[in-house]
């Protein structure tokens, strides 16, 4: 599908404002069965017998985030200009959907002060998302950008964080609204996805968004627990915006980040 310059420019502009609003110059979306982390195949995996580890500090998590050179073919950026400054900047209109909204924006899905996030972008000769303008936007969409979030919890907090995401998938299947950084987003559908099977516990879900008449954008979110630490991944594939094809988290990015947590 040929995308209008309005839709492309809108999607690109929002990248520099807020990761959640990557398509709000166009639209919002999410919906389907439960993604229980320890339930059915394809929705999640769990190692319930694993002992709970002590929570890592925010400083420790910063050091564990993917860094330059960790993933071949990808650039790593702190994401300071694109990611929400904190949970107060992201509000879901239904409490059950809050963990999903946080996971999408690289924030902890449950309560903790120990968190860190960044963005990992496929290398390209075109300008970075934050530098796009109307003249360069058409050639800058053959990239994908993944928002990576790490959070750590005491006791069984990490397991409960993943479970909160799983519960939210079923509860919010019909969609929900998000207010973030002055943007009002409408998630239209949430559906359980195929979990990665990595770490001690994993779950995945897809959110879909109507791009203001320019097609449907669908994004996959992966959540993986390793001991007391939860990692979240949300990828936008700019080349597939509006096509209806789901943007999936690159395996190389997920594998590299989980590897640094084990």
- Cα separation, 106 vs 115, whole angstroms: 9
Considering only residues 57 and 23, tell me which one the structure prediction assigns the higher pLDDT: 57
57: closest CA among 115, 142, 105?
115
pLDDT of residue 132: 53
Structure tokens given for 157: 């907090």
Q: DSSP letter string over the chain?
A: -PPPHHHHHHHHHHHTT-GGGTTTTT-B----S---TTSSTTTEEE-TTSPPPPPPPHHHHHHHS--TTSSTTEEEE--TTTS-SSGGGEEESSGGGHHHHHHHTTS-SSS-S-EEEEEEEE--SSPPGGG--TTTGGGG-S-EEEEEEEEE-STTHHHHHHHHHHHHHHHTTT-EEEEETTEEEEE-EEEE------SSEEEEEEEEEE-TTS-EEEEEEEEEEETTEEEEEEEEEGGGTTEEEEE---HHHHHHHHHHH-
Domain that holds residue 27: 5-261
pLDDT exceeds cutoff 80 at 109: yes
Lowest mean pLDDT segment, chosen from 140-154, 157-171, 192-206: 140-154
Q: What pLDDT, on a 0 to 100 scale, did the predictor assign at position 23? A: 42
Tell me the average pLDDT across 59-80.
94
Instruction: Choose among 83, 63, 65, 61: nearest CA to 74.
Output: 65
Greater confidence, 143 or 191?
A: 191
pLDDT band at 178 (very low <50, low <70, confident <90, very high): confident
What is the mean pLDDT of the segment spanning 64-84? 90
Please enumerate in sequence order all residues whose Cβ is within 8 A of that of 28, keeping only pairs 6 or more positions apart, or say none.
177, 178, 185, 186, 187, 188, 209, 210
Q: Cβ distance 11 to 170 under 8 Å?
A: no
Contact assessment for residue 103 and residue 163, using Cβ atoms and an 8 Å cutoff: no
Model confidence pLDDT, tens digit, residues 199-224: 999 999 999 877 666 667 788 999 99
* pLDDT at residue number 25: 38
Q: Are 52 and 61 in contact (CB under 8 A)?
A: no
Q: Which residue has the higher pLDDT, 175 or 4?
A: 175
Range with the poorest average pLDDT among 30-44, 181-195, 248-262: 30-44
Supply the CATH number for residue 101's domain.
3.40.1000.70
Which is higher by pLDDT, 79 or 56?
56
Give this prediction's pTM. Answer: 0.79
Cβ–Cβ < 8 Å for 26, 209: yes
The pLDDT assigned to 162 comes to 98
Written as six digits, the tokens of 37 are: 């982390």
**pLDDT for the residue 42:** 36
Q: Most confidently modeled of 7-16, 21-30, 101-110, 239-248?
A: 101-110
Share of the chain above pLDDT 70, in %: 69
| Count of the separate structural domains present in the chain | 1
């Amino acid at each position: 599908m040929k995308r209008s310059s309005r839709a492309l420019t809108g999607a690109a502009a929002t990248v520099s404002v807020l990761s959640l609003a990557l398509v709000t110059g166009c639209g919002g979306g999410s919906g389907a069965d439960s993604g229980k982390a320890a339930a059915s195949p394809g929705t999640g995996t769990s190692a319930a017998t694993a002992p709970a580890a002590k929570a890592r500090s925010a400083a420790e998590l910063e050091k564990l985030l993917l860094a330059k050179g960790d993933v071949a073919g990808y650039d790593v950026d702190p994401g300071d200009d694109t990611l929400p400054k904190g949970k107060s900047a992201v509000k879901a209109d239904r409490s059950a959907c809050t963990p999903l909204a946080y996971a999408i924006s690289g924030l902890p899905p449950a309560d903790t002060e120990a968190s860190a996030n960044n963005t990992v972008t496929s290398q390209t000769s075109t300008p970075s998302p934050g530098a796009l303008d109307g003249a360069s936007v058409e050639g800058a969409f053959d990239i994908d950008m993944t928002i990576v979030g790490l959070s750590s919890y005491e006791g069984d907090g990490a397991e409960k964080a993943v479970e909160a995401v799983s519960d939210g998938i079923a509860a919010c299947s019909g969609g929900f609204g998000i207010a973030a950084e002055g943007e009002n987003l409408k998630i239209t559908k949430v559906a359980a996805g195929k979990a990665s099977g990595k770490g001690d516990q994993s779950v995945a879900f897809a959110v879909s968004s109507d791009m203001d008449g320019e097609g449907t954008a669908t994004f996959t979110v992966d959540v993986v627990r390793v001991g007391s630490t939860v990692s979240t991944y949300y990828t936008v594939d700019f080349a597939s915006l509006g096509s209806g094809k789901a943007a999936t988290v690159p395996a190389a990015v997920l594998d590299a980040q989980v590897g640094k947590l084990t």
